[in-house]
Amino acid sequence: MSLVAALSCLLTVRLSGVCLSQLGLYSWPRWSPTERLYLPQIVLISVVVFSFFVSADLEALWSRRDLWQIGFCVFGPQMIWGFYQEFLYRGLLQTELVRRWGRLSGILVSNLIFTFGPLHAYHFALARTNLSHLWIFAGIFSIGIFFAVLFYRSGNLWIIAILHGLGDWFIDGLAHVSRMPQ
């Protein structure tokens, strides 16, 4: 996954001639003072809120002896996966659609593709046996709109990529860890 994310960034720069900074991936010195303060605050709030909902899973996690393996094999890939999705759907797709179609249409269309596109299409299959599973799309769409507006307003892809990675860790990563043998 790390290789795919790095390759995507490299190919984007090479084939399109667009700098990564134009897609929201700019260096720390270019971050505004507000962004520098915002990131630790929102990460802390996210960790606290998610931890409240998954406290039992976290308690089981801390009792494990293989924390470094979990960090390397589960946490790291979840963070990279969050980065990759945001790079693709916000950095590339939303940036271009907003440029072509304007703010509202670009944000809505890119978020609809994020919500119902290939990354989340498996939820349709799960809904065949449980129709209530379709409600997951409301959550995906809502968080996607939040990320889309945050990216549009700040232009900083790193912030939403980190938030998305943390969400992936708490939602998918911890579930994966709970299924791993001790």
Give the per-residue pLDDT at 67. 78
**pLDDT recorded at residue 2:** 64
Sign for the CA dihedral angle at 108, 41, 44, 162 comes to: positive
Tell me how crowded residue 70 is: count the other CB atoms within 10 A of its CB.
Answer: 17
Give the per-residue pLDDT at 59.
79
Residue 180 phi/psi, 5-degree rounding, is -80, 145
The per-residue pLDDT for 116 is 92
Give the DSSP letter string of 78-139.
HHHHHHHHHIIIIIIIIHHHHHHH-HHHHHHHHHHHHHHSTTTTHHHHHHTT-GGGGGHHHH
Question: What pLDDT is attached to residue 1?
Answer: 60
The span from the CA of 32 to the CA of 158, in Å, is 13
| CA distances from residue 44 to 88, 131, 166, 178 in whole angstroms, order as listed | 25, 34, 11, 23
d(CA 18, CA 35): 23
Q: Is 90 left (phi over 0), alpha (psi -120 to 50) or beta?
A: alpha
Residue 115 pLDDT: 93
Model pLDDT, residue 7: 80
* Full pLDDT tens readout for the chain, 182 residues: 667 777 877 887 778 778 888 889 989 999 999 889 988 998 999 999 988 888 888 877 888 788 788 888 888 889 989 998 999 999 999 999 999 999 999 999 999 999 998 888 888 888 889 888 889 899 999 999 999 999 999 999 999 999 999 999 888 888 878 777 77
d(C-alpha 76, C-alpha 79), whole Å: 5
List Cα–Cα distances, 143 to 111, 115, 140, 148, in angstroms: 9, 10, 5, 8
DSSP 169: I
According to the model, what pLDDT value does residue 61 have?
81
